[in-house]
A and B are shown apart, each in its own frame.
Chain A
Amino acid sequence: MNPRRRFLRLLAASGLGWSLGGCVSSRYLRGTGPGRVVVVGGGFGGVTAARYLKLMNPALSVTLVEPRDTYFSCPGSNEAIAGLSGLGTLERSYATVSRAFDIKKVNAQATHLDRPRRRIVLSDGSEVPYDRLILSPGIDFRWDAIEGYDEAASRTVPHAWKAGPQTAMLARQLRAMPDGGRVLITVPANPYRCPPGPYERASLIACYLKKHKPRSKVLILDAKTRFSKQPAFEQAWRELYGDMLEWISSEKQGRLERVDAAARSVETEFDTFRADVLNVIPPQKAGALAEVSGLTDGSGWCPVDPMSFASPFDSAIHVIGDACQAAPMPKSAFSANSQAKVCAAAVIASLAGEPPPEPLLINHCYSLVAPDEAISISGVYGYSWNDGQLATRSAGETPPDGDRKREAAYARIWQRNFRADVFGY
């Protein structure tokens, strides 16, 4: 019997069958046996996983380990940089989620894992035991990748690639910039968090400048030769911003050699660029906890079995979100959300000693090119039994002549609905 059939048979026999109509003691909804599931990391992936575990099985013990009290959403943060919204709209409280869904919240930093004993070790030395661990650690930066751009440099030259204080810093610097100044954004090679994010950021900064500092320019210095939603972005830029916004491919300037944070300048193989506002988006890797726990490979990211998002290094640990390698899915909040649901179902199956159901995953993301104009990209991903990887079932993006106003209206609803699907409010 194939794994899918076996899982379905489990469900059929689990008390939800028609013959047992009114019975709520089903294994699937109520759970039996060991069931301590711990989620580490309170981003979109982690919170979705915790919430959906409880929705699927309210009796399960679910713990979320996350040191912060509130979360700032990266989707929407470019709007805050451009002054279209405040940071407050991006903020979600873990206490609310925890209370509403009976998720235990541990306010601490997980420093490492004791994998043989299935325990998470916290910064104060205490331990949290688990039967299954869902790791959603997000990204960390490769501080050694660009000469002159380390964590200390990021205190004056923001990356703003994790939302919160960095977002506010970039917004402040943009406000303080003189008219006629230059904003320079450097973009890393793939893979990195949110492939279209830098180009949305450039668009919305250009929009701000056009209105408030019209003699200024935005320059994107890219480590790539092409980028996500490129035809639609370039069409919008031509129509909306003309010469104000310029994208420079790595074909023209080669490698980013070094950053001088004090001088706010960057050197490529061929030129030096000075900026009034410098935003360096550095190369990335899986969050530190994944790395120190031996769950990454040579790429710096975590390989997973996309059927369940289990790690090949440890079957009790699943890795979701930006930290995992789930190509061809991009590293996006929506991907993390979709992966978290597949992972939650797989964990519940695994605790019952059953194989996971076959996944079908979706990614969808909007980029605003102006306050009331947006473009989008979408993909549907199935499991390939041939190679055990994800395969693209369909993919598409807004065409250059797409209806950007209509998509912007949907983008706003999406932001609200998506945060509600993740955080429950």
Chain B
Amino acid sequence: MSRQSKTHHVARSVAKSVRFTSRAIVFGLSVTANAENLDTSLAALSCLGCHADIEQPATGRLAEPASLRGLDVNAMVSVLRDYREGKRSGTVMNRIAAGLKDADIEGIARFLGKRQ
């Protein structure tokens, strides 16, 4: 079993005990713990204040367009850098990204990216 799928397996078994919720968060925490990057995982948790990554139990729909599910980690890193450097324009994300260091961006992308 690969490292990632092992971790995913851990996350899934834990998540079964938490109804309605968020594999994503548990998975993210386990990844960041392994990645020695809990500092940036705290930043990523704040991201979820807008990009709530929660399966809507009533409808089964994901919140959008703010859901970050399924995004590639590298793509997320380059999008956040582009926001920070003004190469991509948004309403809010330029201001937020301006406060993130490279390590923050990488940690956030690892935490939030590449989930099912």
Q: Please give the residue numbers on chain A whose beta carbons come within 8 Å of chain B beta carbons, in ascending order.
A: 4, 7-8, 11-12, 14, 16-18, 21-24, 28-29, 52, 54-56, 58, 100-102, 334, 337-338, 341-342, 345, 357-362, 364, 376, 378-382, 392-398, 402-403, 406-407, 410, 413-414, 416-418, 420-421, 424-425
Q: Please give the residue numbers on chain B whose beta carbons come within 8 Å of chain A beta carbons, in ascending order.
A: 1, 3, 6-7, 9-10, 13-14, 17-22, 25-26, 29-30, 33-34, 36-40, 42-43, 45-52, 54, 56-58, 63-66, 91-92, 94-100, 104
User: Are A58 and B18 in contact, CB atoms less than 8 angstroms apart?
Assistant: yes
Q: How far in angstroms is the closest Cβ of chain A from B55? A: 10
User: Are A8 and B38 in contact, CB atoms less than 8 angstroms apart?
Assistant: yes
A29 to B104, CA, bound (A): 23
Q: How far in angstroms is the closest Cβ of chain B from A377? A: 9
Q: Which residue of B lies closest to A23 (CB)?
A: B10
User: Are B33 and A11 in contact, CB atoms less than 8 angstroms apart?
Assistant: yes
Contacts of B98 in A (CB 8 A): 380, 393-394, 396
User: Are A58 and B42 in contact, CB atoms less than 8 angstroms apart?
Assistant: no
With A338-B49, A394-B96 in contact, do A406 and B38 touch (Cβ < 8 Å)? no
A262 to B68, CA, bound (A): 53
Contacts of B10 in A (CB 8 A): 16, 21-24
Contacts of B13 in A (CB 8 A): 24
The one of A55, A382, A398 that contacts B26, using a Cβ cutoff of 8 Å: A55
User: Are B20 and A24 in contact, CB atoms less than 8 angstroms apart?
Assistant: no
- Sorted nearest first, the 7 A-B pairs with minimum C-beta distance are A380-B99, A394-B99, A396-B95, A393-B99, A417-B52, A21-B6, A394-B98
Contacts of B99 in A (CB 8 A): 362, 379-382, 392-395
Contacts of A397 in B (CB 8 A): 95
**10 interchain pairs, CB-CB under 8 A:** A14-B33, A22-B9, A55-B26, A100-B20, A337-B46, A376-B92, A379-B99, A407-B92, A416-B63, A417-B49
The one of B37, B54, B96 that contacts A364, using a Cβ cutoff of 8 Å: B96
A413 to B17, CA, bound (A): 28
Q: How far in angstroms is the closest Cβ of chain B from A83? A: 26
Contacts of B6 in A (CB 8 A): 18, 21-22
With A12-B33, A16-B33, A420-B52 in contact, do A362 and B38 touch (Cβ < 8 Å)? no
Which of B6, B29, B40, B45 is most buried by chain A, counting CB atoms within 10 A of its CB?
Answer: B45
A22 to B7, CA, bound (A): 7
User: Are B33 and A52 in contact, CB atoms less than 8 angstroms apart?
Assistant: no
Q: Which residue of A lies closest to B31 (CB)?
A: A16
Given A58-B17, A413-B63, A414-B66, 4 further pairs, Cβ under 8 A: A11-B36, A55-B26, A407-B92, A424-B21
Q: How far in angstroms is the closest Cβ of chain B from A85? A: 18
A43 to B47, CA, bound (A): 19
User: Are A410 and B92 in contact, CB atoms less than 8 angstroms apart?
Assistant: yes
Contacts of B96 in A (CB 8 A): 362, 364, 378, 380, 394
